[in-house]
Structure 1
Amino acid sequence: MSISVHPDTPQTRPLPRAATGGAASAEAGRGIRTRLFTKYVALFVAVVAVALLANGLFEVLFYYREHKASLIRVQHEQAEAAAAKISQFVKEIESQLGWTTQLPWSAGSIEPRRFDALRLLRQVPAITELAQVDATGRERLRVSRLAMDAIDSGIDLSSDPKFTEAVAHKVYYGPVYFRRESEPYMTLAQAGARKDAGVSIAEVNLKLIWDVVSQIKVGEHGHAYVVGPEGRLIAHPDISLVLRNTDLSGLAQVRAALAGSGVMPDALQEATNIQGQKVLTASAPIAPLGWTMFVELPVEEAYAALYASLQRLAIVLLAASIFAVLAGIFLARRMVGPIQALRIGAERIGAGDFSQRISIKTGDELEGLADQFNDMGARLQESYADLEKKVEVRTAELRESLEQQTATSEVLQVISSSPGELTPVFHKLLENATRVCGASFGIMNLWDGEGFTIAADYNVPPAFAASRRDVAIRPHPESALAAVVETRQVVHVHDVQNTPAYIAGGASIRGISDVAGARTIVVVPMLRESELIGTIAVYRKEVRPFTDKQISVVENFTKQAVIAIENARLLNELRKRTMELSQSLDELRAAQGRLIQTEKLASLGQLTAGIAHEIKNPLNFVNNFSSISTELIDELNEVLQTASLDGKTKDEVDELTGMLKSNLEKVVQHGKRADSIVRNMLLHSREGSGEHRPADINAIVEESLNLAYHGARAERPSFNVTLRRDLDPNAGVADVYPQEITRVFLNLISNGFYAATKRKESAADGFEPTLSAATKNLGDKVEIRIRDNGTGIPQDVKEKMFNPFFTTKPAGEGTGLGLSMSHDIVVKQHGGTIDVTTEPGVFTEFIITLPRVMPAGGTSGGKT
């Protein structure tokens, strides 16, 4: 190893500094060497020890968990296998025993039953004795391997659980007992499906269960045992514990398993057995006996491998620590000298001597570090060049951001310069989105609920554009457009030719890739309050995914497109409503002229005053709204032209469009009311509309009820009024104007619906809105009654209710001409009468009488 520090040229290092600082540098080097030596040795020892210790501890921890889980899993599988074997053993006995309960008892059935019982004993060695009891509980037959057979012994078992439980539950599992203090037995009783089939009682040798438990081996000292539903030991490798009728219900694992229907929680995988030894345990239920199978393994044996691993870890850690001390001493001696040389070289570089060089020949990282110091001067110069490159990259990013802002500003200018015109806006949006994202071409589609149509395209290949022009596209179920329709989310396809839709041969997908040449697509939905109205899709002809920033730019353009569509819709609606209002005003003026010229009105001055009064507010609103709407549109244009990208544009546009919507709703409301006023005035001024002719009164009443009811239901889906009819079959035919009389009935029925519904809003829950219609033959006249159980009419209102333009409904809901028109039709046109009886808060009933034959030339009649 050689170490030297020298400059490339003699001018780079001043001689006085070297001469005066030599002794000090050597002394400082000796001091630093002493400290570094100790630190390196200690550090190396610590690193080795900590690494080995951490590795060993993690290995032991993971090994402990895996080993424990593996042992528990094996024990659980053994317990389940043994439980399944025991359960299958009992089920097979049940199945064989079931054949002995099929026949009913009769005088001649003893011998066949005895033959079946003997055959059962031969087929099922576990059954040592079979007794058959008739439906009354008397033993009729007993066949045994260990005792004499008995026929008609007559033993009364009617109160024995073997009989009563089997009859009640079809099967009975008795407790375990030991015969001759050595072999475990249990009683199994099964009742027949027929009531007169009786019960078969079998004594079953459970030696097979003991054999299963004895054969289960877990490790060297593990074992298995079976516990009954009350915690009593049923089978154990140590038969003496079973013979002593040992109660294990005090063990925590047994209590937990019994509480969990035979399954222990994970928290009790370690417990204490009956000998007080710590064990790993697992359990499994034995259906249908209600027993539980346990498998246990001593903890010392389970963790023996872990303890051995800890001992090996300690030995390895001790040996590694000794080796680390020796290696640290050796390495520290080799590292201190080169570090001193590096320190001196670093001082000179820090002083600005970039041309000096450090020569270290150690063949390790320290030599590489010296080379790095030697290259530092060159790299510093290169760093300036890199800095210029970074500035250039940052400038390009700023240019890209400025380009995006400029594109957005251009779109806003188009929106402001072409209010209500969407085509230039769409084209500018699509052009900027395609250009800013570096895409090949772009398409904007509009969604009508069933398919897509092209609203705009940019730089689309002519062949593909011709195939899509004026064609509604239904998206392929697995295409990007279909995914947008379903999820309302952005869909980014990295390679079209790897999508299921392309592989399946979808025509539209094939056209995009094969005809247009698109390979990478991003489709962004245009949403208006979660409703899909269209998409903007940009395409690249090479496989090059779009960045998140580019996708965000497209999303911003879709929001601007939605704003443009909404603004255009509002402006067009405003223009349409304004035109409709203008037409309505023309109609009002024409109607007023006709009303002035008519000579059939009974009170021309009154109607003219009413007209002026009622149309005053709608006309004032239309005039005021014209100037306000112009100011709102101008303000909207100013906002769109001066909007910046700081998040305020959308709020201001939303506020303006909200004001436009509110005013448009008022225009619609007042327009409807003005139309209603004009329509009712025209009807009021017209006598004898159509021709009078004989008509069935009952049919007119029925038709009016149906029209009014369904009209109310269409306007208010929650409308619910009960209709009652009492139509006199002898009401017959009367000479009337059918259309005018129908209009009277519709008006009165609608008023009844309104009154009954209003009372329902304030009445108790049991109130049922009702409207009834009745007719009655009066000879040369016919009577019609329309009654509702609504709010009734006060006396002061009753006196004025037939006056023109008088109404008690809220402003905007009524014109006050309905009852006046009805009165004129009944009295003036038909020579009849119309009367009303009412009780406020209880009911209202209109009574109409019409003559069978209309008087010649009408009548001046009057209200009764």
Structure 2
Amino acid sequence: MSISLHPDTPQARTGPSAAAAGVVPGEAAGRGIRTRLFTKYVALFVAVVAIALLANGLFEVFFYYREHKAALIRVQHEQAEAAAAKIGQFVKEIESQLGWTTQLPWSAGSIEQRRFDAQRLLRQVPAITELAQVDATGRERLRVSRLAMDAIDSGIDLSADPKFTEAVAHKVYYGPVYFRRESEPYMTLALAGARKDAGVSIAEVNLKLIWDVVSQIKVGEHGHAYVVGPEGRLIAHPDISLVLRNTDMSGLAQVRAAQAAGSTLSDTLPEARNIQGQQVLTASAPIEPLHWTMFVELPVEEAYATLHAALERLALVLLAASIFAVLAGIFLARRMVGPIQALRSGAERIGGGDFSQRISIKTGDELEGLADQFNDMGGRLQESYADLENKVEQRTAELRESLEQQTATAEILASISGSMHDTKPVFDAIVRNLLRMFDTRFAVVQTVHDGTVEMPAADGQPGFERLTERYPRALADDTVGGLAILSKRTVQFQPILGNPSAPSSTREFARDFGFNSVLFTPMLLREQVIGAIGVARVEAVAFDEKQIALIASFANQAVIAIENTRLLNELRMRTQELSRSLDDLRAAQDRLIQTEKLASLGQLTAGIAHEIKNPLNFINNFSAVSTELIDELNETLQSVSFEGKNKEEVDELTGMLKSNLEKVVQHGKRADSIVRNMLLHSRAGSGEHRPSDINAVVEESLNLAYHGARAERPAFNVTLEREFDPGAGMVDVYPQEIARVLLNLISNGFYAAAKRKESATDGFEPTLNAATKNLGDKVEIRIRDNGTGIPPEVRAKLFNPFFTTKPAGEGTGLGLSMSHDIVVKQHGGTIDVNTEPGVFTEFIITLPRKMAAGDTPGGKS
């Protein structure tokens, strides 16, 4: 770009000789003037600014130092007095709590009430460790202590003790500070009653609790407060170890000075060293009427930190001002040639494409006219490019909006694909993208079940949680969400405030939570509404068609997630039912194998055979409907859209189900054949082993056995005794199996007690005791009855299968044998019996807290 100068300009009249030399004469003259004026203007401006700032800074530092020191003196003394007042208030509160124990006169029947009041006082005032109450004659009538045994009517004569005499004379007595066991500080506080016959209450106060008060007193950032007694002993300090070591502070100069001046230092802040040897500024105040002294200390470095910072700021200001003066001088000097430099710079910027550049020269000559021409040219060029930029920006905004929508849709689809068993991640992704894309006050996903509205996902600006708590759970048309669900269409209102057509509840929410436009879109599944998605804005701005369509697409994706989750959960439930059936079949097969081993034992009753017949009937029935289950599963899977690996996994699961159902039919036929030809003796496991509260298992078994015994014999009554160890806690067991063992042992105990009751003539009372005990890595259970006991010859056979002492028809003889197998083989524990014929029988069970890895419900082989 070339610039043509007007022929009347001085540069045009200089002639070709100047042009041939490559230098404009006017520019050469400007350079000569600039050399002289530049130095003069810079030096003069720097000198004026530097002298003014230096003088102002010195005066400011001088007065700031005086004001800062005065403020330090005032603040330190105010902190000391405030801290002393807190300590005094602490003691006064203890005194006021102690006061109500001296209101009643002494009488023969008031001792228990006074003891109750004293114990309540010790609970309410942790600082009081001992309370003694003395009657009007000076005799100790009651003493309640945290550290010693309580004493009633000890009769100790305290009539000449200062605790009693001073309290009677002055109504209150503050004893000197003493250290119990040379570590913990204590003081005696005695208070006389308002009535002469009310006596005196004497409390021993543990001053260690003043640490809570002192540690909360903040003195600057690194300062602290502490309390010293009249003898210079440390009473309270944020470092409690110093107090417990009975630290002597009388060697500190500030402590000696304060005690000499009546607990108050002078208005100057003396610099001294604290107990750690650190240089500090100290102030003190008396704590009346205790004759203690409160000290506050602040490290010298922290106290004068602001002053040092002010000096550093002043130095920085002076340096910055000097730099500014130099720059300003340079700027003023360059004003001589500024217009020409501005024209050159403007031409370069316009040539570089910066059409917003404007040259402002107010010289009133040709240079100003030339600047105006440059500005006009730049304006025309800027207008030409502005239209192009607007079009580019508009297209870019459209592309950005489309990209955001695609990104949000992709994120939601990824959530659907990655969380097919749970809709919560999908709903959270929808809410998160609504907030990000629409800048809303809040966004929610609602679901409807039997007329009840739930909010599985909601998020928004602070305060929206209260809206979700207040939102009505019953489906109704007094909210925009309910209106959208009931009408099965998208509903929006703007504005809401002052709009009588908006639902009443929504108007109330808009007023309370600060939004003025809202939109809800229903979620439809085969023309049935299952929920809605809603967003709200602070401004009363309508949602355009693109935004409504995007929210509707989010609603469709949420419906897909819900339907997929429902179908997969249904598939999982049916798979679990089939798995449980297969487990029952395997258990039945195991019992059948055991039956083959015991087929020669004829003592088993028909009831035991019936136990295995029930699951076999279920297996046969299940095989009859297996074809219908497979067909229903296939129909369900056909309605679900799967992609890639998910489709392969579902097909593999379907094939496995078909194969397992065929095995169910085969094993069922084999089980029927075995049951028809032999008796059955087996015992199935009871569920999964898990950590269980052993005390709760024993208690439940005790109650079940007791109520069962009462149901069989209403006239029979037995006394139950429980001795449960709280430390027994959780044990890894098969709880139903252990309950079966306990029910067996408890029922035997009731039977033995009942037999002895029938033959007793001396007022015998049957008793059964259940106890637990923590043995570390094991737990012990004892079941003891005072029944007939067990003879030695019977005890040796007690755990043999089919051995029983009951009359024929009343038992199979398998109860104790099964109990032995459950405890020993299945759980790896022990079971033993301790008995004395005609006196008692006690079964002792020990169980490990953690079962071995090989233990199974069926026991160990």
Q: TM-score, with normalisation over the residues of structure 2?
A: 0.31
- Bigger RCO of structures 1 and 2 (CA < 8 A, at least 6 apart): 1
